[in-house]
Amino acid sequence: MPFLYFARHGQTIWNAENKICGSTDIDLTELGHKQAIELGKKIKSDNLKIDEILCSPLRRAADTAKHIHEQTGIPLTVEPSLTEQSFGKYESTPRDNPDFFAARERFIDSYDGGETMLHLAQRIYNLLDRLKATDKTFLLVAHGGIARVVHSYFYDMTNEEYGMFKLGNCEILKYEFTD
């Protein structure tokens, strides 16, 4: 069975300021660009067998994926379904806002104009089911919220584990599709 790799984008200014990015299109910082280049170099030096990179269309993930592509030569495709969840009224607010944490525990909450966790999970699970049906190994380059859903596709998680799951900037995880 093929593998799936997942990498979160490099640092943004809102990451550095501990703000919620969501679907707001934020650029990478200088450090974020360096992190992405280093991740590309690591993928190449580790000789990871990846057939294709799929990335979110948001600049922070797309630029990260472009740096990886430049370092590795792996073909790159923008995948709209990897766009980060819209957190509605919470975007640009502090990440440690207790109201935001409470809202995240309600999987059908749309954050006053955002996207529910259930809709997000449907979107990502549908993508993963399509990828599983191929014989390719993909690297997904996307966002923290997407990472959480991808992880839940491969592992059982409690609501608390799901809510607390975090992936660092340019951190990469490997998953194996099974029957």
Task: Tell me the catalytic residues.
Answer: 9, 84
- Name the one residue in this structure whose structure tokens are 């707001």: 24
C-alpha 81: how far from chain center: 11
Q: Which amino acid is at 80?
A: P
Burial of 4 (C-beta count, 10 Å sphere; 0-12/13-18/19+): buried
Cα separation, 95 vs 99, whole angstroms: 10
- For residues 104 and 147, the answer to whether their CB atoms sit within 8 Å is no
- The H-or-E segment that residue 77 falls in is strand 76-78
